[in-house]
Amino acid sequence: MTGVIFDIKRFAVHDGGGLRSTLFLKGCPLHCPWCQNPEGMKRAPWLWYSPQECLRCGTCVAACPHGALTLDDRIHVNRERCDLCGICEKTCPGGALERTGREIEAEEAARILLRDRVFFGEHGGVTLSGGEALSQWKFAVEVLARCKKAGVDTAVETCLYAPREAVEAMIPVTDHFLIDIKILDPELHRKYLGVDNHLILENYEMLVRRGADVLVRTPLIPDYTAFEDNIRGIAHYIYGVDPDAEYELLNFNPLCRSKYAALEEEYPVEGGILSAEEMAVYYAILREEGIPHIIKE
Amino acid sequence: MRIEREHIAGLSCSRRIIDLKREMLEEPRYATIEQACIVTESYKESEGEPRCIQRAKALKAALEKIAIRIEPDERIVGNRTAGVRGGVVFPETGASWIDREFETLPTRPQDQFQVHPEDIDTFRREIMPYWKGRSLEDQVRAAVGTKVNAIAKVVKVNQKDHSQGHICPNTEKWLRLGPSGLREEAQSHLKDAEGKQKDFYESVVLSMEGASAFMERYAALARKLYQETGKENLAEVAGACAKLAVAPAESYQEALQSTWFLYVILQREGNASSFSPGRMDQYLYPYYEHSREQGMTLDDALELTECLWLKFNQLVYLRNSNSAKYFAGFPIGFNVAIGGQKEDGSDASNDLSYLFLQAQSHLLLPQPNLSLRIYRDSPQELLETATRVISLGSGMPQVFNDEAVIPALESHGISHEDAVNYAIVGCVELTTHGNTLAWSDAAMFNLLKALELTLNHGVDLLTGEKTGLDLGDLTIYETFEELEAAYAKQIDYFSDRMVECVTQVETMHEKLLPTPFLSAVIDDCLAKGQDVTQGGAHYNFAGVQAIQVANVADSLAAIKYMVYDEKRVSREELLHALQTNFEGEDLLRSTLIKKVPKYGNDVDWVDELGVKWVNYFADGLKKYRNGRGGIYQMGLYTVSAHVPMGQNVGASADGRRAKDPLADGGVSAMYGRDTNGPTALLQSVAKLPFEKASNGTLLNMKFLPQFFKTDAGIRKFTELLRAVCRLGISHIQFNVLNKEDLLAAQEKPENYRGLTVRVAGYTAYFTELARDLQDEIIARTTYESA
């Protein structure tokens, strides 16, 4: 069983308990305008260019057999011509060109993830993230099954926009579900993320019914998710589903702007990290709605 | 117990300590020739007597005559000079370099000292003429200078103009007997002794008489100041000093005072880089417990501890300008070890371990060099408390791993009992307690320079001089294996010559610098009637540092991959690029850096190249014996020497430009090249043969403060420490700071005088480091949490 991944991050400290290794699976059914990992959105591999590593030497332009690269103040990739042959990646002296996205056997993925097992201790382990981990759920199940078999704690970061059978298959191999509920209003959800949230909420309720360990998270994105009605609505809803719910608000992280610049795309979110005062307002809302376990990083 | 620990964590720093600290830091540092004058006078009077007697008489004269001072609020007293942080001119070991550099001391780039102009005249008139040709420095130069210089670019031979140090004396015995008890022990041996042994015992008696006199002088001064000021602390000090002159310590305060006198006198005799107190939380505990039973409060215990902690910062070490580059920031290495295990394997931490951590969190000064010993079952509370102190950014405590250190010591002939009770001396060097002369800093061996010579007919890329064996050059080696075979020969060639030089230096120390006072507190010197320099200690080692695994692994990996395996560059092209320092070869240089895997990223084949050559070097040392009959041990650390040692090396195949610094620390990756995060770095490091690196190792990691902001972050950090323990890595230390802090400190040093930074095996004031070392620290990888 193979899957397509775009990164393996070791020493991950924000993807669950303890020290973890996180596998990023490629492809996502949602289209969040603020996505932190745009390289993970599409399943297909992609030629990634890092302007800050680029020496502007033109070696790649000369080497490309398809004429897909041009150089002015930076390299531009003609995506129609590029067939991801990898010649530019090999010849680039600066390491500025890289194909993101590679196919990997589940066994190999598990082996790499378990390489840092000595760091996991009691609380750490392996996390699957993305993209959307459940967009390749059969692969995800196999990777986690191997990790569980090795006695390692497992977690999944998911938006839960996946068939019910996928979520059910994950339950036996997943110790912790870290799920995103980003927007409660179905209309807004459709408008911004491109899909309805009905399936997400159904899967969430099913996980709670089945007694899974679930942490709900909402990324606070200025103008998209970070407004009172949304946060109060989500808090109210999850308290209704699970009076013992754990809920975490993730502060906006604008660091991904440079990724969009590299892609020559606009990043649509204005503004920066929310201040401690702004965060305090949202925490107060959570308390008002009765959320018993407010998680703060 | 739990309640006591929580109480300790809540203790605040007293006004007395805050004031004493401020006054200490405000006082300017001066170079001083007072002791040099007294000692020179004494030598003239004792001309013709055995050297150990001359040395003992000189020490005694200094202890009896040198100006002393007590601050009105001090509770622990004693210093080498009346001023604080004085640079003591020590002509017995080196007068010529002082003569050459005296005027430059206030302005040199590293470790500056103010100078009284009249001292320069006195020195040249009264002191220099006597020591010319007599000092260790001059005699070493005469005996072995040519040989030392011939290998200097590859091997830096140490202790040529100063004493060895790096010694952990038997402080427990000193506390139990005091100078009077040790004098009696020497006298009892003296009855039946003859010849050299008789001289030795007599020299010990003289030294101890001097020690008692020194303590009595402080008692008298404290009494006088008490009469003038009525301050109770001075009455206490007077009582303690008077008692210690004739009797052993009983209370915690007396034990601290006695400990401090021991180290002041050791430095007065030896002027050495580092005498270390070792496991103070163990041997001071009975005194602490006794005083607690007598009603000493925890606040009082902490204040007394902090008084000693301040004292540890008042002695600095005057080195020549070159040596100051290698060991920047006046490290004097009062290394204090806490935690670890007892002999039966049970946990050794106690209230003092926590009090010492609390003192460190209050003072954040470079000394003592606080070291935490961890092992498989270290209490979580201890690790969390230590992590909170580490998060404050003073670089301390540094962390040592019993699981790696104890087996390494045992495999070098140290008994289990002594290995379990190990301590740290200087920066990161390993030792037993009170019975070793480890000669830890015998030499530093630049493996990267040896590779350079191997690639280029034995000819130095920087100077064009032929200093190594001519075995060919890169274009001649048809295979990577041929290159490796030549490299091995080059290493052997320099190792042989290094040992010859080190042995000669040791012989000079035996002849010129016996240390009777020190020998009285190193087992088995009194029993054998032998000075430590003659081999009187129970264990006798010599230590050589292999430098630097990251650059060697990366350079060999680049040559193997680019030239021999992938053939992406020809042998001629690469050699030419190295010879021309990558002139016009930016793309090749970038390819070497970016396209070849590097040590520190958990890439097995690259890491294994580092392992292979570290093993080769360590195994090669096995055939040698040092001047005292013991074996050589390998260390993997550089202190700050990666900067000057890098200045000696031409361009290297890892993409490093000529004269750029080497990787820092010892086993760290080249800065900025460990791109797979801390766990990959640690996995790479863990492949090294730590059981062979029994002289000590050094790994630097830098974290930003954000990592420690939450309890979860603190816990995650302790899990990292436990993983280090499981991985069998001997040592690790952490800098916690952000780049903005450091850039601001460069711009406005006056606002950052208290900012300490972990340079290598020790902490120094950032603003007192030379600019290039500051830049280098800023450039090192900073881990943001993923």
Tokens 């086993």 locate to B667
**Alpha-carbon gap, residue B774 to B761, rounded angstroms:** 16
The answer to whether residues B34 and B127 touch, using CB atoms and an 8 Å cutoff, is no
In chain B, whose CA is at the least distance from the CA of A117? B723
pLDDT of residue B783: 52
In terms of domains, do A73 and A177 share one?
no
Same domain flag for A67 and A123: no
- Eight-class DSSP state of B123: I
The shortest C-alpha distance from B612 to chain A (Å) reads 22
d(CA B531, CA B627): 13
Res B5: pLDDT: 85
Of all residues in chain A, the one with the smallest CA distance to B602 is: A115
- Residue B129's alpha-carbon distances to B44, B89, B143, B435, in angstroms, are 12, 15, 20, 37
Minimum CA–CA partner of A296 in chain B:
B710
Are A80 and A115 in the same domain?
no
- Evaluate whether B600 touches B553 at the Cβ level (below 8 Å): no
User: CB within 8 A of B721, min separation 6: which ones?
Assistant: B374, B383, B387, B399, B732
Nearest to B437 by CA among B692, B694, B166: B166
Residue A295: its chain B contacts at CB < 8 A? none
Q: What angle do CA B728, B679, A101 make, to 5 degrees?
A: 145
pLDDT digits (tens, 9 = 90+) for A206-230: 999 999 999 999 999 999 999 999 9
B781 confidence band (pLDDT: 50, 70, 90): very low
Of chain B, the percentage scoring pLDDT greater than 90 comes to 82
Size of interface A-B (CB pairs under 8 A): 73
Per-residue CA distances from B211 to A38, B65, B138, B626, B758 (Å): 72, 12, 30, 32, 34
Distance CA B124, CA B268 (A): 22
Does one domain contain both A241 and A95? no
**Contact yes or no for B175/B258 (Cβ under 8 A):** yes
Which of B9-18, B19-28, B325-334 bottoms out in mean pLDDT, i.e. has the lowest? B325-334
- Expressed in percent and rounded to 5, the helix, strand and coil fractions of chain A are 40, 20, 40
Average pLDDT over residues B534-540: 97
- One domain, residues A213 and A187: yes
Low-confidence winner among B162-171, B376-385, B696-705 (lowest mean pLDDT): B696-705
pLDDT cut 70: percent of chain B above it: 95
Match 């300008």 to its residue by tokens: B321
Give pTM, 2 decimals: 0.93
pLDDT tens string A19-43 = 999 999 999 999 999 998 888 988 8
**pLDDT confidence of residue B785:** 37
H/E stretch holding A71: strand A69-71
Q: What is the 3-state secondary structure (H, E, C) of A12-60?
A: ECCCCCCCEEEEEECCCCCCCCCCCCHHHCCCCCEEEECHHHCCCCCHH
Q: What is the 3-state secondary structure (H, E, C) of B291-305?
A: HHHCCCCHHHHHHHH
End-to-end Cα distance, chain B: 37
The domain spans of chain B are 1-31+274-316+334-425+699-786, 32-147, 151-163+455-514+541-691
> CA-CA distance, B521 to B512, in Å (whole number)?
20
Neighbours of B169 (CB within 10 A): 27
**What are the tens digits of pLDDT across the range A42-59?**
888 889 998 878 999 999
Q: Which residues of A touch B (CB under 8 A)?
A: 9-14, 18-19, 21-22, 53, 55, 57, 59, 93-95, 115-116, 118-119, 121-124, 296-297
Q: Say whether B716 and A19 touch across the interface (CB within 8 A).
A: yes
Report DSSP letters for B129-163, one per residue.
HHHTTTSHHHHHHHHHHHHHHHTTTTEEE--SSSB
Does position B754 have pLDDT exceeding 80, yes or no?
no
What is the ipTM metric for this complex? 0.93
Same domain, A70 and A216: no
Instruction: Assign A186 a pLDDT band (cuts: 50, 70, 90).
Output: very high
At B563, is the pLDDT very low, low, confident or very high (cuts 50, 70, 90)? very high
Higher pLDDT, B753 or B251: B251
A53·B722 Cβ contact <8 A? no
Q: Which residues, 6 or more positions from B748, have their beta carbon under 8 angstroms from its beta carbon?
A: none
Q: In sequence order, what are the beta bridge partners of B400?
A: B373, B731
Q: In this structure, how many other beta carbons lie within 10 angstroms of the beta carbon of residue B413?
A: 14
**Range B736-764 average pLDDT:** 68
Q: Is the pLDDT of residue B699 over 70?
A: yes
Q: Is residue A177 a contact partner of residue A213, using CB atoms and an 8 Å limit?
A: yes
Whether B740 and B730 have beta carbons less than 8 Å apart is answered as: no
Q: Cβ contact (<8 Å) for A119 and B723?
A: yes
Determine the length of chain A: 297
Nearest neighbour of A93 by CB, restricted to B587, B602, B783? B587
B714 to chain A: closest CA residue: A18
Is A13 close to B587, i.e. CB distance below 8 A? no
Residue B727 has pLDDT above 50, yes or no: yes
pLDDT confidence of residue B750: 66
Residue whose entry in the numeric block shows the structure tokens 């009525």: B230
A88 and A204 fall within a common domain: no
Q: Indicate the residue among A100, A130, A165 that finishes a domain.
A: A100
Task: Check whether residue A63 and residue A190 sit in a common domain.
Answer: no
- Three-state SS letters, B673-686: CCCCHHHHHHHHHH
Q: Is the pLDDT at A17 greater than 90, yes or no?
A: no
| CATH number, domain containing residue A264 | 3.20.20.70
Query: Which among A118, A122, A297 is the nearest to B727, CB-wise?
Result: A118
In eight-state DSSP terms, residue B479 is: S
* Arithmetic mean of pLDDT, B632-655: 94
Contact A57 B712 (CB under 8 A): no
Residues of chain B with Cβ-Cβ distance to A124 below 8 Å are 716, 719
Whether the Cβ atoms of residue B663 and residue B646 lie closer than 8 Å to each other: no
Question: What was the pLDDT predicted at B786?
Answer: 34
Provide Rg for chain B, Cα atoms.
26
Single-letter amino acid, residue B590: S
CA gap B83, B67 in Å, rounded: 9
Q: CATH code at A85? A: 3.30.70.20
* CA-closest candidate to residue A137, choices A203, A53, A61: A203
Residues of B in contact with A21 (CB under 8 A): 679
For residue B763, give Cα distances in angstroms to A188, B17, B758, B759: 56, 20, 4, 6
Peptide bond into B733 cis (omega under 30): no
Q: Is the pLDDT of residue B687 over 50?
A: yes
Tokens 């967009």 — which residue? Answer: A135
Percent of chain A whose predicted confidence (pLDDT) is above 70: 99
**Total domains in the fold of chain A:** 2
A93 and A108 inside one domain = no
Q: What is the mean pLDDT of residues B179-205?
A: 97
When pLDDT is averaged across residues B652-668 and rounded to a whole number, the result is: 95
Task: Tell me, yes or no, whether A113 and A136 share the same domain.
Answer: yes
Surface-to-core class of residue B392, CB atoms within 10 Å of its CB (0-12 exposed, 13-18 middle, 19+ buried) = middle
Environment class of residue B630 by beta-carbon count within 10 Å: exposed (0-12), middle (13-18) or buried (19+)?
A: buried
B332 φ/ψ angles, rounded to the nearest 5 degrees: -125, -5
Q: Cite the DSSP H helix spans in chain A.
A: 59-63, 87-91, 106-114, 117-120, 137-149, 164-170, 186-193, 198-209, 228-241, 257-262, 276-288
Of B676, B707, B715, the CB nearest to A10: B676
Place of tokens 């040519």: B146
C-alpha distances in Å from residue B339, one per residue of B251, B281, B399: 22, 8, 10
Q: What mean pLDDT value characterizes chain B?
A: 93
Domain holding A70, by residue range, is 52-100
Give the nearest chain B residue to A116 (CA atoms).
B679
pLDDT of residue B760: 46
pLDDT category of residue B761 using cuts at 50, 70 and 90: very low
| Shared-domain flag, residues A202 and A151 | yes
Residue B740, pLDDT score: 75
Q: Which residues of B touch A118 (CB under 8 A)?
A: 683, 723, 726-727
Kind and range of the H or E element at B373? strand B369-374
Residues 6+ positions from B23 with CB-CB distance below 8 Å:
B71
Å between B704 CA and nearest CA of chain A: 14
Measured CA to CA, the distance from residue B772 to residue B431 in angstroms comes to: 32
Position B676 confidence tier, pLDDT thresholds 50, 70, 90:
confident
Q: What is the pLDDT of residues B465-486, one digit of tens each?
A: 999 999 999 999 999 999 999 9
- Report whether pLDDT(B408) > 70: yes
Minimum mean pLDDT range among A98-102, A178-182, B535-539: A98-102
Residue of B175, B179, B364 lying closest to B279 (CA atoms): B175
Rounded-to-integer distance, Cα B186 and Cα B519, Å = 11
A271 φ, ψ (degrees, to nearest 5): 90, 170
**SS3 state of residue A125:** strand
Q: Do A115 and B602 touch (CB under 8 A)?
A: yes
Q: Are both A60 and A148 inside the same structural domain?
A: no
| Exposure class string for B395-409: b at 16+ Cβ within 10 A, else e | bbbbbbbbbbbbebb
pLDDT digit string (tens) for B61-117?
999 999 999 999 999 999 999 988 899 999 999 888 899 999 999 999 888 999 999
Angle, in degrees to the nearest 10, between helices B480-512 and B136-150: 170
pLDDT at B332: 76
Return the sign of the alpha-carbon dihedral for residues B687, B691, B693, B695.
positive
Q: Are strands A246-250 and A293-295 parallel, antiparallel or unpaired?
A: parallel
